[in-house]
Amino acid sequence: MPLLSLRALTRRFGQTLALDRLDLDVAAGEFLTLLGGSGSGKSTLLRVVAGFETADSGAVLLEGRDLSGVPPHARPLNMMFQSYALFPHMNVAANVAYGLRRDGVPRAERDARVGQALAMVGLEGFGGRLPHRLSGGQRQRVALARALVKRPRLLLLDEPLGALDANLRERTGFELRALQRETGAAFIMVTHDQQEALALADRVAVLEHGRVVQLGPPRAVYDRPATRFVAQFLGAANVLEGRPDGAGGFDCPGLGATLRPEGALPPGTAACALRPERIALRPLAEGPNSAEGVVEEVAFRGDDSLLLVRAGGGALLRVGHAEEDGAPPPRGATVRLGWEAASVVPLAG
Amino acid sequence: MRPLLLRALPLALPGLWLALLVAAPLLVVLALAFAWPTESVPPIAPPWGAEGPNIEPFALVLEDPFYHAAFAQAALVAAGTAALCLLLGFPMAIGLARATPAWRLPLLMAVLLPFWTGFLPRLGAWIGLLRDEGWINTLLQSLGLIADPLPLLYSWPALFLGMAHAYLPFAVLPLYASLSRRDPAVEEAAADLGATPWAVFRTITLPLAAPGAAAAFLLVFIPAMGEYVIPELLGPPGAQLVGRVLWQEFFQNRDWPVAAALAVLLLLALLLPILLFQRLEARR
């Protein structure tokens, strides 16, 4: 049995559907990221599970038990808020101890567990500080310790790294991952940052318009996006419009070439995705899966360069150019592009 | 570098305002307090005459238990009014802070409405409601619930009613300001950690509202301490608050020096709560 099951969850705000008959299962001990743009319903999903919003229809089952009608304080799960929501009038130790006090945990055990939780997030000795005397990163850790001190089987995290600067984000991300393994709790983390979602998760669920449009391990979702939206949202793939040529290829007029995927082209293919970093500046094979274009822009990005190449048919392609392949061609240069058949991903919608 | 005069100009205007409308009247009142009462018009002889300053008014006010009682009564009434306004204002402020943006403005208007109605017509309305032949007594008598009119007007409850009605907005606004500044997720976090709604209110909402509540209390207390119209028009004859006594000394007894001495002492008595309020505001 999954730890958490969402069944046909629907939530409407006026005219907009925040959640649209959404189904999702989360296994015990799993790290799941919910990835989506603003308005995709990811935060609403978290708030419905925590009990701060009520679904219009559908069910939230935690270990098989229906949580509808159960108020937030009686739900055996915890949440870490995007703003951290620390209690400003309590010191760090009191913040962390709050949940244990509400449960009537005796003083001695409470103190021990608060100490453990603070040690777990590297904040020993900070118990007496008030939240406004802490840095952003420290506040984030207090919020995490406070949410984990009750040892929930399920922790919800709403953009937990969103307020941190880039350096701290990466390190804290790794720590989050380590904490999740250590505690064995299932983490459901909401993020709009695709790198974060891919780096931390066992599985990624991509949300659009209140529905899960793709769910799977990060590599699978990245390599085989199911829809146009996923392809563009994750890794900003080139989405090439066209139609099947009837001979196993996909005719793309904008490219002025034919795309030929590995294996058969599924019926109903409306477009194909091609990742920028899978396009080489030389033909890799004779015949299809190569095109010609003119370099319009070159942007140096440190570890690679991003080229905007106008293909013969008018389509603008994003092309990644690794540093070890030498200097990128200058603006205005005519280049020959090529890619492996395995890199062509047919998209259904 | 601009000339000194030009740089001083922006400060000169408020400076002039303060000198003319605050410092000068204060000095006049202080001079009055040391003047001699006479049977002339105006009924005083200046303190710089042949007899020198008169210290009699201060001595009288500081020694006579009648004036002590007036100060004590005013402080009690002001504290009672402030407490009443807090009690009534807190749920109102919570309602305002939780209202949707579309509702917030109309609700704020409703809170401020007493400010925009004239002060005296409002008191007139209370008198019309509360007097022996007033609406309430007439209604109760016509329903046969009472035989003789209840003594509603000129009573302590009527006094507090009028005071709370007049000063409630002073309490609601600072409470609302402190409640609406808060991150709503803080209360959700408490609930998420297992706090029942009552526990959330007790351990989070109330303590976080405490500085706002203290400010609201003082904002009501300070002006209420000197109030004289409401006790005069609604209160019992026994309500000899310092503001009312001051008014009587000035207009009825025509003893300007004693009235001025009372005014100076009232100001000194209010300095402490005013300083307290400023320290609270600086901390926020």
- pLDDT at site A208: 92
- pLDDT at site B134: 87
Residue A229 falls inside a structural domain: no
- Grouping H, G, I as helix, E, B as strand and the rest as coil, residue A16 is strand
The total of other beta-carbon atoms located within 10 Å of residue A174's CB is 12
Cα A129 from Cα B252, distance rounded (Å): 60
Residue A231 falls inside a structural domain: no
Same domain membership, residue A61 and residue A203: yes
Q: Higher-confidence residue: A80 or B4?
A: A80
The total of other beta-carbon atoms located within 10 Å of residue B37's CB is 17
- pLDDT at site A112: 96
Same domain membership, residue A176 and residue A322: no
Q: Looking at residue A116, which CATH number applies to its domain?
A: 3.40.50.300
- B193-202 residue pLDDT tens: 999 999 999 9
Q: Map out the domains of chain B with their CATH numbers.
A: 63-283 (1.10.3720.10)
Residue A75 falls inside a structural domain: yes
Taking CA atoms, what residue in A is nearest to B193?
Answer: A99
Residue A230 falls inside a structural domain: no
What mean pLDDT comes out for the span B208-225?
91
Same domain membership, residue A301 and residue A201: no
Same domain membership, residue A248 and residue A193: no
- Asked if B195 lies within 8 A of A79 by C-beta distance, the reply is no
Least confident of A104-108, A201-205, A345-349, B163-167: A345-349
- B223-236 residue pLDDT tens: 999 898 899 899 99
| pLDDT of residue B1 exceeding 60 | no
Taking CA atoms, what residue in B is nearest to A85?
Answer: B186
- pLDDT at site B284: 58
Q: How confident is the model at residue B27 (pLDDT cuts 50, 70, 90)?
A: very high
- pLDDT at site A6: 95
Query: Given A199, A223, A247, which residue is the final one in a domain?
Result: A223
Same domain membership, residue A160 and residue A49: yes
What mean pLDDT comes out for the span B73-93?
94
Same domain membership, residue A86 and residue A15: yes
Taking CA atoms, what residue in A is nearest to B209?
Answer: A89
- Asked if A87 lies within 8 A of B190 by C-beta distance, the reply is yes
Query: Given A175, A200, A223, which residue is the final one in a domain?
Result: A223
> Residue A119 is encoded by which pair of tokens?
């040690």
Domain count, chain A: 2
Same domain membership, residue A245 and residue A199: no
Q: Which residue range forms the structural domain that includes residue A40? A: 4-223
Provide, as residue numbers in chain B, all residues whose Cβ is less than 8 Å from the Cβ of A86: 186, 189
Question: Measuring CA to CA, how many Å separate A177 from each of A113, A151, A188, B261, B283?
Answer: 21, 16, 12, 73, 40
Provide, as residue numbers in chain A, all residues whose Cβ is less than 8 Å from the Cβ of B208: 88-89
Taking CA atoms, what residue in B is nearest to A144?
Answer: B189
Query: Given A191, A223, A255, which residue is the final one in a domain?
Result: A223
Contact criterion met (CB below 8 Å) for B107 and B99: yes
- Asked if A72 lies within 8 A of B189 by C-beta distance, the reply is no
Cα A160 from Cα A172, distance rounded (Å): 9
Per cent of chain A over pLDDT 90 is 67
The total of other beta-carbon atoms located within 10 Å of residue A204's CB is 26
- pLDDT at site B118: 83
- pLDDT at site B132: 87
Residue A38 falls inside a structural domain: yes
Distance from the B199 Cα atom to the nearest Cα atom in chain A, whole angstroms: 8
Residue A263 falls inside a structural domain: yes
Most confident of A337-346, B9-18, B105-114, B190-199: B190-199
Question: Measuring CA to CA, how many Å separate B182 from each of A79, A300, B18, B88, B208?
Answer: 19, 44, 36, 21, 8
- Asked if B194 lies within 8 A of A73 by C-beta distance, the reply is yes
Same domain membership, residue A210 and residue A68: yes
Taking CA atoms, what residue in B is nearest to A80?
Answer: B189
Same domain membership, residue A286 and residue A265: yes
Residue A320 falls inside a structural domain: yes
| pLDDT of residue B237 exceeding 70 | yes
- Asked if B183 lies within 8 A of A83 by C-beta distance, the reply is yes
Distance from the A190 Cα atom to the nearest Cα atom in chain B, whole angstroms: 16
Same domain membership, residue A204 and residue A274: no
Interface of A with B (CB under 8 A): 50-52, 71-75, 78-79, 81-83, 85-89, 98-99, 102-103, 146-147, 150
| Site from B183, B188, B193, B198 to mutate, A interface, most A CB atoms within 10 angstroms | B193
Same domain membership, residue A276 and residue A181: no
- A220-256 residue pLDDT tens: 999 999 899 999 888 888 999 988 888 888 988 888 8
State the burial class of residue B62 (Cβ atoms within 10 Å of its Cβ: 0-12, 13-18, 19+): exposed
Q: How would you classify the pairing of strands A154-158 and A57-62?
A: unpaired
Residue A42 falls inside a structural domain: yes
Q: How confident is the model at residue A264 (pLDDT cuts 50, 70, 90)?
A: confident
Q: Looking at residue A284, which CATH number applies to its domain?
A: 2.40.50.140
Same domain membership, residue A320 and residue A255: yes
- Asked if B194 lies within 8 A of A89 by C-beta distance, the reply is no
